[in-house]
């Protein structure tokens, strides 16, 4: 027997992380959409989402305190990954070399293992 998944009301199409420092600075910054479209964010920013001019996705902005270039997330497979934080002055995780990314991730994995004890 197959159970039906309840159809959830989709409020947003995409989620992205934004550096809190970028909003505090009060200068416009580009927010990139998955489709390649760019939305210019003009602080002070009051809304919690923006609409992409390219694909009309509703992009929910999740503000991360400070100015991190990335945060740690998990893929749908449960693997640790680096998620870019937009508007940050730090380099995008894609700008890191494979070695740097692996060094950061193994560092985090080691910390997580320690915390479990």
Q: For residues 34 and 91, which CB has a smaller minimum distance to Zn ion in the complex?
A: 34
C-beta of 55 vs 63, nearer to Zn ion? 55
Q: Which 3 state secondary structure label does DSSP give 70?
A: strand
Helical segments of the chain, H only: 20-25, 98-116
Task: Using CB under 5 A, pick the residue from 54, 74, 95, 108 that binds Zn ion.
Answer: 54
Distances in Å between the Cα of 26 and the Cα atoms of 15, 69, 100, 117 are 22, 18, 31, 42
37 makes contact with Zn ion (CB under 5 A): yes
Residues 19/86, Cβ–Cβ less than 8 Å: yes
Cβ atoms within 10 A of the Cβ of 61, count? 22
63 binds Zn ion (CB under 5 A): no
Q: How far is the CB of 104 from Zn ion (least distance, A)?
A: 28
Residue 66 binds Zn ion, judged by CB under 5 A:
no
If one asks whether residue 42 binds Zn ion (CB under 5 A), the answer comes out as no
Binding site for Zn ion (CB under 5 A): 33, 35, 37, 52, 54-55, 57
């Amino acid at each position: 027997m197959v159970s039906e998944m309840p159809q959830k009301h989709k409020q947003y199409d995409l989620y992205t992380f934004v550096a809190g420092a970028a909003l505090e600075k009060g200068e416009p910054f580009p927010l990139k959409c998955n489709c390649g479209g760019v939305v210019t964010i003009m602080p002070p920013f009051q809304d919690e989402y923006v609409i992409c001019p390219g694909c009309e996705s509703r992009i929910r902005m999740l503000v991360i305190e400070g100015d991190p270039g990335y945060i740690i997330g998990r893929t749908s497979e449960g693997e640790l990954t680096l998620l870019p934080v937009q508007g940050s002055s730090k380099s995008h995780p894609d700008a890191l070399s494979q070695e740097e990314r692996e060094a950061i991730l193994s560092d985090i994995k080691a910390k997580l293992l320690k915390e479990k004890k």
